[in-house]
Structure 1
Amino acid sequence: MTKDIKYFGLDISKDVFDVCDDTRNYYQFKNSLSGFKKLIKLLDNNAVCVMEATGYYHVRLSYFLLDHGFKVSIVNPLKIKRYIQMELSKVKTDKSDSKMIQLYGKDREPKLWFGQSKTQQESLQLSRLLSVYSKQSTQIKNKIHGETVLGIPSKEVLRSLNRQLKSLKKEIALLETKLEKNVKAEYQNSLTLLKSIPGIGSKTALMLLVFTDGFHRFESAKELCSYAGITPIIRQSGSSVKGRPRMSKMGNPKLRNLLFMCSFNACKYNRACKALFDRIVAKGKSKKLALIAVCNKLLKQAFSIVKNGIPYSSEFRSTLVIK
C-alpha cells in the first residue's frame, strides 16, 4: 500500500451520503451539488474516494469528483457486503457502512474508476430507453391481438392502440439511428470487425460495444466473460458435496441475454461455435449448457478480434490472441 494515499469511504443514498476519512472522522452531506462542493474541501491530491455501485445514486458524485481531478474507485456492493461479514460487524448503519468501505479501500486498494465519455454515457441511456420502448411495443401488440379476438372489438380502442404502436415504432427508429451514429463515431473499426464474426449481426455488434464500452474496460477475455455472468460455478467438496455446474449470472444481464440470443445463429453459421455445441451435446450434456458454452466462445472471439484488429477468419483462428 502506498503510504501517501488517503482512502475515504462513501456510503451513498438518494438524499445524502456519509463519509469516513482516513482518520475515522465522519461527515454527512446532501447528495447534491452543494454537498459535493463541501466534500472536495476535505480532499487533496492523495485522496481516493471509494464507494459502492448503488444503482444510479453514485453517478453524479463520481463524475463530479473526476471532473475536479480527484481519484474514484467504484466497488461491487457484494464485495463490500462480504468484507463486512468477514469482519463480523454487528452494526448496520450508513455511518458504519462508510467506515467499512474506508477500511475495504485501505486493505484491498481497489482499482481506480475512470468513467466513460459523454458519448458512451448517452449510448447507455439510449439502450436503456430502447429496452423500455421495446417492451411497451410488445405489450401493445399483445393487447391488440387480445382485442381483435374478442367477439366485438372496440374500434376506438384498436385505433388508440395502433396510434400508440405507431408512435413507439417512430421513437424506436429515431433512437436506433442516434445510437448507431454514436457507436460509429467512437468504434467504427471495432464495429466492422465484430460484424465479420458469423452469428453476430449489426444490432448485436452495436450493443456489444455499448455494453462493454468498446472492450476497453477489460484486460482479458476471462474478465469479460465474468462481467457477462457466463462463467461456470462449480460446487464440489469431499465426497458429499457434488453440485451441478451452473452459470454464475453475477454480471450484466442485458449482455448475457444478448449473447444467449446470438448463440442460436452462431450454432448455425459459426464453424467453431457449431463444433463446440455438437461436441458438448455428444457427451450427453444438455443443450442449454452447450449454448452457454457457445456464448462464452462467441464473446471470446469478439474480444480477441477487436483487441487484435483482425477480421474473423475460420482458417486463421490460431493467429488470434485470447488472454
Structure 2
Amino acid sequence: MDKYKETFGVDISKDVFDVYGSECGHSQFKNDEQGFKLFAKTLASDSLVVMEATGYYHYRLAQFLYKNGIAVSVVNPLSVKRFIQMKLSKVKTDKSDAKAICNYGLSNEVPLYNALTDVQVECLQLFRLLDSYLKKRTATKNKLHGEEVLGIPSKYVYGSLKRDLKHLNKEVKGIEDRLLELVKQDQQPQLTLLTSIPGIGIKKASFLVVITDVFY
C-alpha cells in the first residue's frame, strides 16, 4: 500500500469514530458532519481511509470522504477479525480496533469504495425500516402469545394487537415488494443467477443482492 502517503484505520460507533494513522497514531472525532470535516482536514490528498462495513454507521463517513476526493475502502468485518486473530491480539478497545484496521489496510490490497447510487441509498433506507418493523412485529406476536397464555384475554386488547399485527404485516410486505422492485430494476442479472440456485427463492435472493451490493 506504499502508493498512499498514509493509511488510516477507522472504527465507528454510534456517537464517535476512532482513527489510527500509520504515521500520526490515534485520534477521535464525533460521528457527525462536523466530525467528518475535522477529520478530512487532517488528511493529505494521497491518504487511504479503511473502515469496516458496520451496517449503518460507516455509510455517511464513507460517502462524505468519497465525495471529497479521499480514497476510501470499506472492508468485510470478518476479514479484519481473522486478521486480528492471526496477529493474536487479545486487547479489544476502539483504539486497538482502529489500529488493527489500519494494519489490515497496510498488509492487504483493499478494494476502493464507490459512492452508493440513488437506488442503493433507497435500499439502505428500506432495510433500516424493515428491521424496525420486524422487531415491532416480533414484539407484537410475543404480546399476543402472552395474552393467550392468560387464558382470558381482554377482547379489546387482543383485537388491538391483532390489528397492529395486520398493519405490520402489510408494511413488511410493502417494503419487501419495493426491495424486489429495485433489485429487478438495478441488478436483474445477479438476481437471476441467485434464483437459479436450488433452495433460494426470489425474496431471499433479492435480500442477498441488496446486502452484498449496499453493505459490502
TM-score of Structure 1 vs Structure 2, range by shorter chain: 0.7 to 0.9
CA apart distance, 1:33: 0.9
Aligned equivalents of 2:153 and 2:110: distance in 1?
Answer: 60
SS at match of 2:209: helix
Q: How does 1:195-210 map to 2 (within 5 A)?
A: 195=195, 199-210=199-210
Distance 1:169 1:155 in 2: 21
Quote the offset at 1:42 in angstroms. 2.3
**What SS is found at the alignment partner of 1:73?**
strand
* Stretches of structure 2 lacking an aligned partner (at least 5 in a row): none
Deviations 1:294-316 (A, max 9, x none): xxxxxxxxxxxxxxxxxxxxxxx
Give secondary structure in 2 for the equivalent of 1:48. strand
Q: For the residues of structure 1 that align with 2:53 and 2:28, how far apart are their CA atoms?
A: 18
Tell me by how many angstroms 1:55 deviates. Answer: 5.2
Q: Distance in 1 between matches of 2:210 and 2:57?
A: 21
Match of 2:183 in 1: 183
Q: Which AA in structure 1 matches 2:182?
A: N
Instruction: Kindly state the Cα deviation for residue 101 of structure 1 after the two structures are TM-superposed.
Output: 3.1
Deviations 1:38-82 (A, max 9, x none): 221222332110223445332221121112121112334454455
**Alignment TM-score, normalising by the size of structure 2:** 0.75
User: Deviations 1:72-116 (Å, cap 9, x if unpaired)?
Assistant: 123344544554565566765544443443333223233323353
Amino acid at match of 2:177: T
* Map of 1:110 onto structure 2: 110
The separation in 1 between residues aligned to 2:95 and 2:151, in whole angstroms, is 62
- Give the 3 Å change call, closer, same or farther, for CA 206–153 of structure 1 in structure 2: same
Q: Which residue of 2 aligns with 1:120?
A: 120
Identity rate, percent: 54
Aligned residue type for 1:119: V
* Contact 2:6 2:23 survives alignment (8 Å): no
Cα deviation code 1:281-306 (max 9, x no counterpart):
xxxxxxxxxxxxxxxxxxxxxxxxxx
Q: Residues of 2 paired with 1:146 and 1:64: CA distance?
A: 46
CA displacement 1:185-244 (0-9 Å, x = unmatched): 212454456556665443233223223329xx7xxxxxxxxxxxxxxxxxxxxxxxxxxx
Distance verdict in 2 for CA 1:145–1:113, change over 3 Å: same
Correspondence for 1:34: 34
SS state at 1:27 partner: strand
Give runs of aligned pairs for residues 1-323 of structure 1, distance below 5 A: 1-54=1-54, 56-81=56-81, 83-84=83-84, 87=87, 93-127=93-127, 129-130=129-130, 132-134=132-134, 136-137=136-137, 140-141=140-141, 143-144=143-144, 147=147, 152-191=152-191, 195=195, 199-213=199-213
Higher relative contact order (CA 8 A, sep 6+): 2
Asked whether the 8 Å contact 1:24–1:99 carries over to 2, the reply is no
Deviations 1:251-306 (A, max 9, x none): xxxxxxxxxxxxxxxxxxxxxxxxxxxxxxxxxxxxxxxxxxxxxxxxxxxxxxxx
TM norm structure 1: 0.54
The answer (yes or no) to whether the contact 2:11–2:19 under 8 Å persists in 1 is yes
Write the distance in 1 (CA, Å) between the matches of 2:205 and 2:92: 43
Worse-superposed segment, 48-57 or 60-69: 48-57
C-alpha displacement of 1:23: 2.1
Cα distance in structure 2, aligned partners of 1:213 and 1:156 = 44
Cα RMSD over matched residues? 3.5
Contact 2:4 2:48 (8 Å CA) reproduced:
no
Greater shift in the superposed pair: 61-70 or 135-144: 135-144
Does the Cα contact within 8 Å between 2:8 and 2:48 map onto a contact in 1? yes
AA aligned to 1:8 is F
Change (3 A) 1:213 1:4: closer
CA-CA distance at 1:7 after TM superposition:
1.0
Residue-pair matches, total? 215
CA distance in structure 1 between the aligned counterparts of 2:205 and 2:71, rounded to whole angstroms: 32
